Every structure is written in structure tokens, then in C-alpha cells.
Amino acid sequence: MKRFFVSLFAALVLAFPIAIAIGRSSWFGHWMANGHGWDAFDPLLNFFGVIGVEGEGDVVVNTLLVASFALSFALAWFVFGAFARARQQKAK
């Protein structure tokens, strides 16, 4: 249970910086500028019934935040597990 809450806290702290790093990366900008990114987001845009640029941006930003939260949670989970395992082996 401790591992879950530590990973959750780390994910909350890391989600926004990871989202910024992904959003400002050159490959993400290139992907969106070519139209391939908009094609990938098209099912979500249709699902939410988005009309207009502001709505499209909201869907992209929120999807980016959810993806970065999931990525940071997985990263924190594995790092915490690796430290716990190393500590157990060191204690033996």
C-alpha cells in the first residue's frame, strides 16, 4: 500500500513536467503539424463532439496530461520497486 501512495504522489508531481516535455518536444510538434496527430485525435474529438479550436486544444492537452500521468506513475512504480528490492537484498 505504501508503494502505491508513494508512486501516486510521485506521479502527481511528475505528470505536469513530463507533459510539458512531451508537448515541447520537436517530434510532437512535427507530428501535430503534419496532420498525423490530428488524425490520431480525431476519434476523441468526435466522441466529445468538439467544435472549434479551443475544444480541440483542450482535448489534446487533457489527453497529454492523462498520458503523462500514466507514464510517470509507471516510472515511479518501477523505480520504487527497484529501490525496495535493492534494500531487501542489501539487508540479507
CA 80 to chain centre: 18
- Indicate the domain borders of the chain: 2-91
- What is the model's pLDDT at position 52? 79
pTM of the model: 0.82
Return the pLDDT at 40.
Answer: 93
Per-residue pLDDT of the chain (92 residues; tens, 9 = 90+): 888 999 999 999 999 999 999 999 999 999 999 999 999 999 999 998 988 777 898 999 999 999 999 999 999 999 999 998 998 888 77
